[in-house]
Structure 1
Amino acid sequence: MKLPKRSRTHQLEELSIDKFKSLLPIEWVYRTPTHDYGIDGEVEIFDSDGYTTGKKFLVQLKATDEKRIDKASKLRMGIEKLNYYQQLEQPILIVRYMAESDDIYVRWFHSLNPNKDKISEKSFCMLFQSQHHWNDEKLEIISHELRSLFFIQ
């Protein structure tokens, strides 16, 4: 008997969302948009007292089962995404979830560097390196970068 089957892609997507959300401060709110055009989520920032800051950033999650770190650390997307992201006014955090190690790597889209990353007519490739790995200090680094982007006190 044939039955519907949940694809590994959908499983990976859910794993990546759960992992990423687990790393955010409890005061911050992660929302999933009803229609996905290359943005998987939005994070609204609340301060440590629970007050809204009015600041938000967008999130694009990309998960992989790739076992080789050299391959998994390269994220290729279509040029349409690059063009779309360049139109958006909010900062976009690109999140790479590596299922094999249950690790998260993050980079701001605006950190795309044509000298280190690859951009062609049809696609672009973001490279994730050790400094992009989510560790105990990464949340403080992201918070600092957000303060710089938004001029948050």
Structure 2
Amino acid sequence: MNLSGMPQADLQSINVDVPGNGYYPALSTAYFIEHYAVAQEYASKSALLVEKLKRAQTEVNQELVSAVLTNGTPLNAQQIIFYNDAVYSKAKANLLVSKLGSTHRENATAQSQSAIDNFEHWQRESINAMRLLQALSPNLSVELL
């Protein structure tokens, strides 16, 4: 079940992996649907979910391009958690904005306000996860004088 109490689709049948670039991990539409309460109307649209994940992945990767997260080794488990949270949260925010365009006019005002609040929440979650990820950099250190 998702957060609305509606049964979810079979996640295995609609799972699509979005490959990472070797340094960053791959992403999964099934994980996105299950852990980020993707609305049922989008859960069966694999192409849309893949597009949102790829866009979010690219944006996060661009923001992290100057951050040295490791010294040439793969990300550790904690870094992967923060990276995934940054990407999935950004994708969730972008998915909520997409939902604004598909609502009916009579419900648009109320739904747009709640969706904007949710968009801002998920954007903050993404930014927070990126900050936490960058804080784990081995190049950040404090020197005592």
TM-score in terms of structure 2 length: 0.33
Higher gyration radius (CA): 2
More helix by percentage = 2
More strand by percentage = 1
TM-score in terms of structure 1 length: 0.32
* Bigger relative CO (Cα 8 Å, ≥ 6 apart): 2
